[in-house]
Structure 1
Amino acid sequence: MQIAVIGGTGLIGSRVVEDLNAAGHRAVPHSLSSGVDVITGEGLEEAVAGADVVVNLTNSPTFDEASYAFFRTSMENLLAAGVRGGARHFVVLSIVGVDQVPALDYYRAKVLQEEILQAGPLPYSIVRATQFMEFVDSVLSWTSDDGTVRLPSTPLRPIAAADVSAVVAEVAAGTPLNGVLEIAGPDVYPLDELGRITLAARGDGRSVTTDDTAGMFAAVEGDVLVPGEGARIAATRYTDWLA
């Protein structure tokens, strides 16, 4: 099977390409660095021509309201190119609970991306993942100073990027879901406790202060970022990943 992985050189995309090729498929990575621009359309036709499956792992360069334009334009361009290229399956990676956080521009923009795909002309699959373990350090940096990290107690179920990639590759090689598959790590942590575990493992002497007004995840109500019944639960535990 020939698979075009758009955004195929990033954290998830590079692993998806490796997993698909190891399974005997012909997965080709495409990105801005290889001359494929999902906004202007440059290189798109050539990238998806003859591909059975298009996997879209591109991301907005910002998390603000400008992300709407990015996801709208990129999805419209990719879907049109996929149709012309003869694709039979279109896959995107999204976020668990993305439709339950209306206060965040980026999450609403990701919902728009999903809606464009669902209303589009191609059979599709949406994989919604929880927050990546690899991004926890970045989350801590948003609300930290020399001695303290302020974090809300938002429940999260972090997942390793390798586990996300494996599922995306499996879905891409399979029959279109025409629906959503949720995936998550095995353990639920309040974000403030996740911060304490992370700092301790890194030998970082900063303390964590629970502050439910701090950072992006302060906009999340309840446990909406934790998947419900039927989610695929990955094997990698956060403490093992840290080690």
Structure 2
Amino acid sequence: MKVAVIGGTGLIGSQVVKKLNAAGHEAVPHAQSTGVDVISGQGLDEAVAGADVIVNLTNSPTFDEASPAFFRTSMENLLTAGEQAGVRHFVILSIVGVDQVPELDYYRAKALQEDILTAGPIPYSIVRATQFMEFVDAVLSWTADGDTVRLPATPIQPIAAEDVAEAVAEVAAGTPLNGIRNIAGPDVFPLDELGRITLSHNSDGRTVVTDPTAGMFAAVKGDVLTEKNARLAPTRYTDWLS
């Protein structure tokens, strides 16, 4: 099976390519660095020519109000190229609870990406993942001020990027779901407590202060970023830290 992995040089994409090739498939990474531009359309026809599956792992360069335009244009270009090439399966990676946080521009943009895919001409699969363990340090940096990190107690169910890549590769190699598969890490933490665990492990002397108004995740209500019925990945956050 030939798989065109768009965004195939990034954190998830590079691992998806490796896992699919190890399983005997022909996975080819495509990105701006290889001459493929999902916005202008440059190189797309060549990238998807002969492919059975497209895995789209590209991401908006910003998380603000410009992100919906990125996903609309990139998806329309990829769907057009894929349909013309006879692609039989189109996979994207999305976010658990993405349709439950309309207050966030980026989440609205990812929900739009899902809608464009489901309305499109190619059988599809959507893999929704919880927050990546690799992004926790960045989340802490958003609300850090001197010796204090302010975080809300939003429930988070972190998942390792390698486990995400494994799930995406498995779905890409299978028949189209024409629906959603939720994947998540094995443990749920309040975000403020996750921050304390992380700082303690890193011997970081800063203090986490619980602040329900701090950062992007302050807009999230309830436990919509967790999923009790998701397929649970094996890697625990404390083991990943170690």
Q: Give the TM-score normalised by the residue count of structure 1.
A: 0.99
Unaligned runs of 5+ residues in structure 1 are none
The residue correspondences of 1:81-160 to structure 2 (distance < 5 A) are 81-160=81-160
Equivalence for 1:165? 165
Partner deviation per Cα, 1:60-104 (whole Å, 9 max, x = no partner): 000011001000000000000001111000000000000000100
Verify: 1:11 aligned to 2:14, yes or no: no
Equivalence for 1:224? 224
Secondary structure at the counterpart of residue 126 of structure 1: strand
Verify: 1:201 aligned to 2:201, yes or no: yes
Query: What amino acid is aligned across from residue 67 of structure 1 in structure 2?
Result: S
Partner deviation per Cα, 1:83-135 (whole Å, 9 max, x = no partner): 11110000000000000001000000100000000000000000000000000
Q: What is the alpha-carbon distance in structure 1 between the residues aligned to residue 24 and residue 120 of structure 2?
A: 29
Q: What is the alpha-carbon distance in structure 1 between the residues aligned to residue 20 and residue 85 of structure 2?
A: 20
Q: What is the alpha-carbon distance in structure 2 between the residues aligned to residue 85 and residue 165 of structure 1?
A: 25
Partner deviation per Cα, 1:137-172 (whole Å, 9 max, x = no partner): 000000002200000000000000000000000000
Shift of 1:228: 3.6
Unaligned runs of 5+ residues in structure 2 are none
Query: What amino acid is aligned across from residue 116 of structure 2 in structure 1?
Result: I
Equivalence for 2:71? 71
Q: What is the alpha-carbon distance in structure 1 between the residues aligned to residue 3 and residue 127 of structure 2?
A: 16
Q: What is the alpha-carbon distance in structure 1 between the residues aligned to residue 146 and residue 215 of structure 2?
A: 17
Secondary structure at the counterpart of residue 144 of structure 2: coil
**Which structure 1 residue ranges, 4+ long, deviate > 2 Å from structure 2?**
none
Q: What is the alpha-carbon distance in structure 1 between the residues aligned to residue 182 and residue 210 of structure 2?
A: 28
Secondary structure at the counterpart of residue 200 of structure 2: helix
Verify: 1:234 aligned to 2:233, yes or no: yes
Verify: 1:49 aligned to 2:49, yes or no: yes
Q: What is the alpha-carbon distance in structure 2 between the residues aligned to residue 4 and residue 202 of structure 1?
A: 38
Secondary structure at the counterpart of residue 55 of structure 2: strand
Q: What is the alpha-carbon distance in structure 2 between the residues aligned to residue 228 and residue 191 of structure 1?
A: 17
Equivalence for 1:24? 24
Q: What is the alpha-carbon distance in structure 2 between the residues aligned to residue 62 and residue 204 of structure 1?
A: 29
Q: What is the alpha-carbon distance in structure 2 between the residues aligned to residue 68 and residue 171 of structure 1?
A: 25
Query: What amino acid is aligned across from residue 141 of structure 2 in structure 1?
Result: S
The CA RMSD measured in Å over matched residues stands at 0.4
Partner deviation per Cα, 1:203-242 (whole Å, 9 max, x = no partner): 100000000000000000000000142x110000000000
Q: What is the alpha-carbon distance in structure 2 between the residues aligned to residue 120 and residue 66 of structure 1?
A: 22
Secondary structure at the counterpart of residue 141 of structure 1: helix
Q: Give the TM-score normalised by the residue count of structure 2.
A: 0.99
- Tell me how many residue pairs correspond in the alignment: 242
